[in-house]
C-alpha cells in the first residue's frame, strides 16, 4: 500500500506565528484555500481510494476539494490529530524560543513532553499505528496495492517519516514538512520505502503505478520562503498555492 501524507494548507495560526495545537476554529487562510484546491488538481490523475484526516478544521478544509474531486467520503482518525502541546497551545512561536524545553524538542525529541500535554514519543506511536492500521485494512479490502491520502499535521508527519526512514525520533526535526506538502511512503511486507518528502511541485504520475491506472502531470509554481523547524511544522511564507520546490530544485 502507498500513503500520501498531506500536511494541511497554510492556517490562520501559521500566519499569526502561533502554535495552534488543538485549538478549535483554526481554519485556512486564502492562500491555504488555494493550496487545498491546487493539491486536488495535482492528485486528480491518481487512483486514490481512501482519504483519512485529522479531525481538526484545517485538515477537514484541506481535504474537502480532494474528496469532492474523487467522490470520496473522507474519514477522520483521532490518532492523526495534532500534538497536544498543553500549556504551549496558542502561544507565539517567538515567545516559545525562550523556553528551556525548546532545545529539548529540537535535540532530544524522544524525551520531550509538553507541560500539560503529551510527549512526542506518544505522538509517533499513535500516528504510526494509525497509518499502518489503515494500510492493512486497505490491503485486506483490495488484495492489491492501493493508493490513499492521510491529511495531518507537521510534527505528526515528521514522526511517521522518521519511523519509515528507520531514524531515531531525536532526528525528526531534520525533516522539513511545509504547508500543503506531500510525502509518500510505500509499505511492503518487509519494509517501508519513502518515495517523496516535503514535495510541493513535482510530477506525481509515477505513483499511479501502485494502482495500475494512468495519472496526470502536475505543474510547478514560483518559489517561496521557508523557515527552520518549529513545533507543529514549518510555517511557510507568502506566495502561491504551490511552495515552489520544483523551481528551487531547478536552481540547484
Q: Concatenated DSSP letters for 116-165? A: TS-BHHHHHHHHHHHHHHHHHHHHHHHSS--EEEEEE-HHHHHHHHHHHH
Taking the mean position of all CA atoms in its chain, how far away is CA 52?
Answer: 12
Query: 229: which residues sit within 8 A by CB, 6+ positions away?
Result: 106, 173, 174, 176
Residue environment code for 118-148, b if the CB has 16+ CB neighbours within 10 A, otherwise e: ebbeebbebbbebbbebbeebeeeeeebbbb
Helix, strand, coil percentages, rounded to 5, for the chain: 45, 15, 40
Taking the mean position of all CA atoms in its chain, how far away is CA 148?
Answer: 13
Q: Is 0.85 surpassed by the pTM of this model?
A: no
pLDDT per residue rounded down to tens, the chain (252 residues):
899 999 999 999 999 999 999 999 999 999 999 999 999 999 999 999 999 999 999 999 999 999 999 999 999 999 999 999 999 999 999 999 999 999 999 999 999 999 999 999 999 999 999 999 999 999 888 888 899 999 999 999 999 999 999 999 999 999 999 999 999 999 988 999 999 999 988 666 666 765 543 323 233 333 333 334 566 665 665 444 455 444 333 332
Q: Sheet holding 182-187: strands in order across?
A: 75-76, 48-53, 147-152, 2-7, 182-187, 192-199
Entry field: residues in the chain? 252
Question: For residue 142, what pLDDT is reported?
Answer: 82
Query: 147: which residues sit within 8 A by CB, 6+ positions away?
Result: 1, 2, 3, 4, 46, 47, 48, 49, 207, 208, 210, 211
Question: For residue 220, what pLDDT is reported?
Answer: 30
Alpha-carbon span 239 to 36, nearest angstrom: 14
> Beta-carbon neighbour count of residue 159 at 10 Å?
26
Taking the mean position of all CA atoms in its chain, how far away is CA 9?
Answer: 9
Phi/psi class of residue 116: alpha, beta or left (left: φ > 0; alpha: ψ in -120 to 50)? left
Alpha-carbon span 59 to 53, nearest angstrom: 6
Measured at the CA of 146, the angle between CA 143 and CA 152, to 5 degrees, comes to 130
- DSSP E strand boundaries for 188-239: 192-199
**80 and 130 Cβ atoms separated by less than 8 Å:** yes
Alpha-carbon span 252 to 247, nearest angstrom: 9
Amino acid at each position: 500500500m502507498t500513503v500520501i501524507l498531506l500536511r494541511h494548507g497554510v492556517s490562520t495560526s501559521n500566519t499569526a506565528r502561533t502554535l495552534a495545537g488543538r485549538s478549535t476554529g483554526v481554519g485556512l487562510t486564502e492562500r491555504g484555500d488555494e493550496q487545498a484546491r491546487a493539491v486536488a488538481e495535482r492528485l486528480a490523475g491518481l487512483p486514490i481510494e481512501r482519504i483519512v484526516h485529522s479531525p481538526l478544521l484545517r485538515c477537514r478544509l484541506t481535504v474537502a476539494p480532494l474528496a469532492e474531486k474523487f467522490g470520496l467520503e473522507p474519514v477522520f482518525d483521532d490518532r492523526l490529530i495534532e500534538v497536544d502541546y498543553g500549556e504551549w497551545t496558542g502561544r507565539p512561536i517567538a515567545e516559545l524560543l525562550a523556553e528551556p524545553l525548546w532545545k529539548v524538542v529540537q535535540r532530544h525529541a524522544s524525551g520531550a513532553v509538553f507541560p500539560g500535554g503529551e510527549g512526542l514519543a506518544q505522538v509517533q506511536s499513535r500516528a504510526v499505528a494509525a497509518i499502518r492500521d489503515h494500510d492493512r485494512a486497505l490491503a485486506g479490502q483490495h488484495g492489491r496495492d492501493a493508493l490513499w491520502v492521510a491529511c495531518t499535521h507537521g510534527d505528526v508527519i515528521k514522526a511517521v517519516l522518521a519511523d519509515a526512514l528507520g531514524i531515531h525520533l531525536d532526528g525528526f526535526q531534520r525533516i522539513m514538512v511545509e504547508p500543503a506538502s506531500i510525502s509518500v511512503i510505500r509499505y511492503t511486507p518487509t519494509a517501508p520505502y519513502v518515495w517523496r518528502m516535503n514535495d510541493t511541485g513535482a510530477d506525481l504520475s509515477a505513483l499511479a503505478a501502485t494502482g495500475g491506472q494512468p495519472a496526470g502531470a502536475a505543474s510547478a509554481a514560483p518559489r517561496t520562503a521557508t523557515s527552520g523547524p518549529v513545533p507543529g511544522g514549518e510555517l511557510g511564507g507568502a506566495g502561491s498555492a504551490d511552495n515552489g520546490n520544483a523551481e528551487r530544485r531547478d536552481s540547484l
